[in-house]
Structure 1
Amino acid sequence: MALSTDVVEKALSLLSSAGYEVTTPPILQPATVFLDLVGEDIRRRLFLTTGADGTDLCLRPDFTIPVCRQHLETGAADRTASYFYHGPVFRQRTEGLGEIPQIGAESLGRPDTASADADMLALAVDTLKQFDVSDVDIRIGDETLFAAVLAGLNLPTVWQRRLRDLFGDSDKLAAAINRMAGKDAGSDEGRDVRLGFLAALEGADPKAAHAVVEDLLSIAGISAVGGRTPSEIADRFLEQAALASGSGADPKAAETLKRYLDIAGPADEVVGKLEGFASDTGIELDGPLAGFKARLRALEAKGLPGSRMKFAAEFGRRLDYYTGFVFEVHAPSGSEGEQLVGGGRYDKLLQLLGAESEVPAIGFSIWLDRVSRVCGARA
């Protein structure tokens, strides 16, 4: 069932009346930006091409990065601005077309982060109502809490970085935690294939290891991979060598982390669980918890009480630029619970794109093909 033009225009009109300015970033985007920032899941599904001048390009796989790039090109990075968009993104799929219609919004530069978080989630829910989709399930998470727990465990840097990279992918995160606990987690991302090379690097002099990797890349005629220099690739190999050998394994830290990731339930009920976890483990969570509570108060003021939202400590969005509050809106339970909306906070993204400092930012995208399926099933 295709969504009617009138219904789509109704949703866009809501975003405009809420004070958001329409923007239409180019479909062709520099590939290097996305290879560096979107995460492994989307990186594998990019539609890549090359410009006449040899520049690596891709069809935009999302709107957030292109919108932020336009924002930086048209004024001061830290200015307050609100944008909305409508158009296709492109990701390779095993089934169906890779052209995916979306509607979404981005809010940049607002310092009142709790209120901005609440406004954005409420706007996403209200936009769905324009398609007559209202009885939805809302799932929320907080990457700031996860990062604070990692910092409180005093893990080696290589493990902190690895666990942060995997946050949001429950299976791979669980496998990594098992390895950190000293348990055999089986093959992870081709670990068995690389084990000989990684074992040779483990414990090697860093300068010698760098030289080996750079020589191998030179022999293969490779000067960069995904925007990374040979030196950065060598650093990555050294990290992988430490991970594969289990260096820095800490069973107690692994059990503490598992306990945190098991915390879940209605958002208003998990506050006590999070406070109890902090008290029992001695991990400092006062700052992130204060932000969590302020957000819940702001959401309740927007008509979204904590009892209506489900919090899961393990929930993160598999895009590298998300940094704090994250959310998904799923179709009603009777519609197979398909995800209709994904969004969250990405305060570091504009700095990664060239701004002098971090800029508060939050946004969401609605997958119109999924909304169409829900409406069709109901009809």
Structure 2
Amino acid sequence: MPKRDKQAIGQRFLSAFRQAGAAEVAPDILLPADTLLDLYGEDIRARAYTSTDPLRGEVMLRPDFTVPVVQMHMAGGAEPARYCYLGEVFRKQDPGEERPANPRDNEYLQAGFELFAHDRQADAEVFALFHRLLAPYRLRAVTGDMGLVMDAVRALPLSEARRDALLHHVWRPGRFGRLLKRFSQPAAPRRFAESAAPWAGLRSEAEMERRMARLIADQDAAPLDPVWTARLDRLFAISAPMPDALAQLSDLARDWPDLTPAIGRVEERAGMLAYLGVAPETILFDASHGHRTMEYYDGFTFSFLAEGRAGWPPVATGGRYDALTAVLGRGGRAIPAVGGIIRPGLIAELEAA
């Protein structure tokens, strides 16, 4: 598919975002690596193209737009604010990588929209905008809520260190599952030999001593009762049209009342979607959606999927990322924020077909 065709489709979405009140921005393509590494950890190296500049140090080709847009806004933007953009992002796919099984382009266009506002209806507004723009392509809309998942983890009767570990890996289901399995079994005893040898390695001696102290303290933790893993399994198994999913969540809340506030937020959002003309019964709610497919979203999440296109990534994705604004803001100041991206290249393939 010629790049000019993808660009033309991207410009259509960009124009629609501008009509929705967004100011167009153009973040740098070459970004400092330290911010992305602090945010994602070393995992980002498996997906991003990195290089070293003699003056700027380690840099990365832009893996997404959200981080530089948030940085730009937190440096001086006022609320409410709406931004839109169109440009390439770069994602490395190693030859031995199993996911995705059908590799896509390493360089591809994203057209995006970001909304910074203290507005309870912002989630529904952004989703309704994407839903309207993508309606001609008959995509399957899936939503989730990472706030619900995080509230479930916080309600587990675990030590603070164990809860923090699960929350740290909540976007990595494989690691999350292995941790949960380990916490459900008696802790293995830990013994660290003392040595007079000089300390070596990338981590400081103080860091490693704190790590060893946490591991030693963890061996006294009681295993997680199976009733809690069963409740998590019930939560993650919920995948149904939004009204049916809300009924299942209400049933679960009878055994797990800590989830009631988060379920109330999901129900309120469904009402807002209906007010904006999006029928909730046409939207799938998947409780494990953000847990399996997103990175850094901490509230509402959504995807638009092409039916019958096995191996395709989502045509559009988005969600709420309030915590990210606190991490990237000055002095930990958080601003409510929600946004999403569309992949014009995939839209071009759908139109060509």
How far apart in 2 are the matches of 1:162 and 1:149? Answer: 14
- Which of 283, 286, 306 does residue 312 from structure 1 map onto? 286
Counterpart AA for 1:120: V
Q: Distance in 2 between matches of 1:21 and 1:84?
A: 6
| Cα distance per residue 1:183-220 (max 9 Å; x no partner) | 99xxxxxxxxxx9xx9445xx9xxx89x99xx64xx24
CA distance in 1, matches of 2:277, 2:205: 51
Is the CA contact (8 Å cut-off) linking 2:23 and 2:83 kept in structure 1? yes
Name the residue aligned to 2:235: 260
Could you tell me which runs of 5 or more consecutive residues in structure 2 were left unpaired when the two chains were aligned: 95-102
Q: Give the alignment of 1:132-147 within 5 angstroms.
A: 132-133=136-137, 135-147=138-150
Q: Tell me the residue number matched to 1:273.
A: 248
Q: Which residue is 1:117 aligned to?
A: 123
- Aligned-partner Cα distance in 1 for 2:33–2:160: 29
Q: Which residue in the other structure is 2:185 paired with? A: 182
Cα distance in structure 1, aligned partners of 2:147 and 2:326 = 18
Could you say if the C-alpha distance between residues 276 and 73 of structure 1 is closer, same or farther in structure 2, counting changes exceeding 3 Å? same
SS in 1 for 2:125: helix
> Which of the residues 264, 270, 293 maps onto 1:296?
270
How many residues align structurally?
339
Question: For 1:70 and 1:312, how far apart are their aligned partners in 2?
Answer: 32
State the alpha-carbon separation in 2 of the partners of residues 248 and 373 from structure 1: 53
Task: Please state whether the residue corresponding to 1:117 is helix, strand or coil.
Answer: helix
Following superposition, the deviation at residue 234 of structure 1 comes to: 5.8
What's the secondary structure of 1:154's corresponding residue? coil
Distance 1:258 1:37 in 2: 28
Length-normalised TM-score, structure 1: 0.79
How far, CA to CA, are the matches of 2:258 and 2:155 in structure 1?
7
Normalising by structure 2, we get a TM-score of 0.84
Residue from 310, 315, 340 that aligns with 2:315: 340
Q: Label 1:56 to 1:10 Cα distance change in 2 as closer, same or farther (>3 A).
A: same
Counterparts in 2 of 1:316 and 1:234: CA distance versus 1, 3 Å: farther
Moved over 6 A (4+): 240-243
| AA partner of residue 27 (structure 1) | I
C-alpha offsets along residues 26-55 of structure 1, whole Å, 9 cap, x if unaligned? 111111111122366544212112222252
In 2: Cα distance, 1:237 partner to 1:92 partner? 35
Q: How does 1:1-379 map to 2 (within 5 A)?
A: 1-2=1-2, 3=5, 5-38=7-40, 42-53=44-55, 55-76=57-78, 79-94=79-94, 97-108=105-116, 110-113=117-120, 115-129=121-135, 132-133=136-137, 135-182=138-185, 199-201=190-192, 216=199, 219-220=200-201, 222=202, 231=206, 235=210, 247-252=221-226, 253-281=228-256, 283-316=257-290, 320-331=295-306, 333-336=307-310, 338=312, 339-356=314-331, 357-376=333-352, 379=353
Identity of aligned residues (%): 28
SS of the counterpart of 1:348?
helix
CA distance in 1, matches of 2:17, 2:181: 45
* Gaps in structure 1 of 5+ consecutive residues: 185-194, 224-228
- The aligned counterpart of 1:192 is none
> What value does the CA root-mean-square deviation take over the aligned residues?
3.1
CA–CA distance in structure 2, aligned partners of residues 359 and 48 of structure 1: 30
CA apart distance, 1:322:
1.4
Report the Cα distance in structure 1 between the residues aligned to 2:247 and 2:104, rounded to whole angstroms. Answer: 44
Offset of residue 5 of structure 1: 4.5
Alpha-carbon deviation of 1:82?
A: 0.3
1:260 shift after superposition: 2.0
Return the letter of the residue paired with 2:154: A
Alignment CA distance shift 1:277-1:22 (3 Å): same
Once residues 372 and 342 of structure 1 are traced to their aligned partners in structure 2, the CA distance between those partners, rounded to angstroms, is: 17
Q: Distance in 2 between matches of 1:320 and 1:6?
A: 29
Match of 2:290, SS? coil
1:159-202 per-residue CA deviation (whole Å, 9 max, x = no partner) reads 22232233344444333333332299xxxxxxxxxx9xx9445x
User: CA 1:96–1:326 in structure 2 vs 1: closer, same or farther (change >3 Å)?
Assistant: closer
Structure 1 residue matching 2:111: 3-state secondary structure: strand
For the 8 Å contact 2:153–2:163, the answer to whether it is kept is yes
**Which range moved further: 271-280 or 40-49?**
40-49
Q: Distance in 2 between matches of 1:183 and 1:261?
A: 25
Which position in structure 1 is the counterpart of 2:98? Answer: none
